[in-house]
Every structure is written in structure tokens, then in C-alpha cells.
Amino acid sequence: MSLTHDEKAGFVRDGIAVRRGLVPENLITRAKSLIDDWVREQMDASQISAYTQRTFAPELGQHPDLLDLFANSGAVELATELLGDIQPVTTTQIQIRIPEETLTTSQPEKAMHVDGVACPHLDPDELRTFSLLVGVVLSDISDPDGGALRYLPGGHQVMARWFRTEWSRGVTEQVPPQIDTESGTPFMGKPGDVLLMHHLVPHSVGNNYTLTPRVMAYFRVSHPHHAQRRLEALRDPWLDYPPLAAITIASPTA
């Protein structure tokens, strides 16, 4: 269950770790059934843009069957191993990329960004940052054109330098120009796979040109002291990761 030294070193280098097949099938089945029912019975097609900016199925954010994907799958242990200690996670974010040909209204793409900084629906001065993004795959993601999340390996280091040297509160750009033009690496997976991604890794999401919805459950995980040092954590990518201190000191890229 624990992360190996190589996995931790890879996280330091790339800002991500992936654990395939971590979440048990019964947890995936319950969560997916809950979301499928919501899509069929409650989703308001006119609110696709709002769902995309925040979360699909907002009424289900605290449902035990969704929270179990993090709390009872082994994901919480891996997150705690990276951060040392974590704040309780009480909300699930559901993101669905709907097949383009089934949409009656457009679903906005997401340009390269880091969550909680200069988001289109936030005041530019407002920060809603955290430490670690944990994503659980709930649908097959085997086609890069299926609305896959695209991330920039190692981008957390670039973002930290930008936040230290060029960025200030109120800036409306979400990333520096050299990152804004990157297409990123698509995250592919099967139901039950788990992505652990440093908050500062820039990522984007495009349209889904397949016939199958792409469904992910996300959990925003914070070190207990994160809320008191949001600015410092943007500038020092390892402030919230004390267990990785020895690896970051030894790494030539840290």
C-alpha cells in the first residue's frame, strides 16, 4: 500500500504518482451508479458550464458512497504518506466530460491552470488553494481525445518559480506564457486507478470526442497548516510535504 522510494522520487520530479487499480470494484460500482442516476434524473443541461467550473452533482458532494472512494480505498493513506498529516476531506468534486455529439450546449474547455488561483469564477485576489489533488477514475479513459486531464510533468517547479518571482495577487493570468502554450500529457486510466498530483502541477482539460462520458472523482487534500500559509505554499512547492524533505534536498531538480 505504501509508496516506494522510486514513486516518491518520481513525485518530486514530475509532481504526480499513479496507483493503478487501488480502489476496490464495489466502491467504484456504488459511486458510478450514484452519479449515473444523477445524470439521468437531475442534471440540468443548461448548467453544463457551471458544473464544469465547479462540480457536477453538487448535491452528492458529501455522499458517503463518494467519500468512500478516498477514505476507504487506500488513497487517504497514500495522501497522508506524502503530506505527513492531512485535514479531513469532506467533499467530493465530480467532473464529467460529456461527448461533444450529445451536447445541446457547449462545455467549456479548461486552459492550463492550477486550481484555486485566478479561476474564472473567483475574484483574482481570492485564493482557494490546497496541497494535493487526488483523482479517482470512474470510467475508461483510453483515448486522449476523450476529455482526458492533461498535465505538465515537472510543471510544479516552474509554477513555484513564477509565483516567487513574477506573480502577485490580483494577476488574472493563471499560468506563465511558456506553460499556457503547452498541450500536456494526457492521463489515461481505468476505473479504480488513482492519480495523486501536486497542487502546483498545471493541467488542462479539452473536449470529449468519443462516445463515452469521462467521469472522475476528485478530492482536494490539504496539509493542516495550508490555510495559514497559502502564499508561502505557492512559492515553496515542498512546504506542505515534510516527508519528502530528504528527497527534495537530494534531487537536482528540486
Listed by start position, the domains of the chain span: 5-248
| Helix (H), strand (E), coil (C) string for the chain | CCCCHHHHHHHHHHCEEEECCCCCHHHHHHHHHHHHHHHHHCCCHHHHHHHHHCCECHHHCCCHHHHHHHHCCCHHHHHHHHHCCCCCCCCCEEEEECEHHHCCCCCCCEEEECCCECCCCCCCCCECCCCEEEEEECCCECCCCECCEEECCCHHHHHHHHHHHCCCCCCCCCCCHHHHCCCCEECCECCCCEEEEECCCCEEECCECCCCCEEEEEEEECCCCHHHCHHHHHHCCCCCCHHHHHHHHHCCCC
Instruction: Read off the pLDDT of each residue in 227-236 and give the average, rounded to a whole number.
Output: 94
Q: What is the pLDDT of residue 124?
A: 59
Q: Domain 5-248 belongs to what architecture?
A: Sandwich (2.60)
pTM attached to this predicted model: 0.94
Instruction: Read off the pLDDT of each residue in 198-219 and give the average, rounded to a whole number.
Output: 96
* Per-residue confidence band for 254, with pLDDT thresholds at 50, 70 and 90: very low
Instruction: Read off the pLDDT of each residue in 200-226 and give the average, rounded to a whole number.
Output: 97
Q: What is the pLDDT of residue 251?
A: 60
* Per-residue confidence band for 253, with pLDDT thresholds at 50, 70 and 90: very low
Instruction: Read off the pLDDT of each residue in 226-244 and give the average, rounded to a whole number.
Output: 96
Q: For 159-195, how does the pLDDT look when each residue is reduced to its tens digit (9 = 90+)?
A: 999 999 998 877 878 899 999 999 999 999 999 999 9
* Per-residue confidence band for 151, with pLDDT thresholds at 50, 70 and 90: very high
Which one is predicted more confidently, 75 or 124?
A: 75
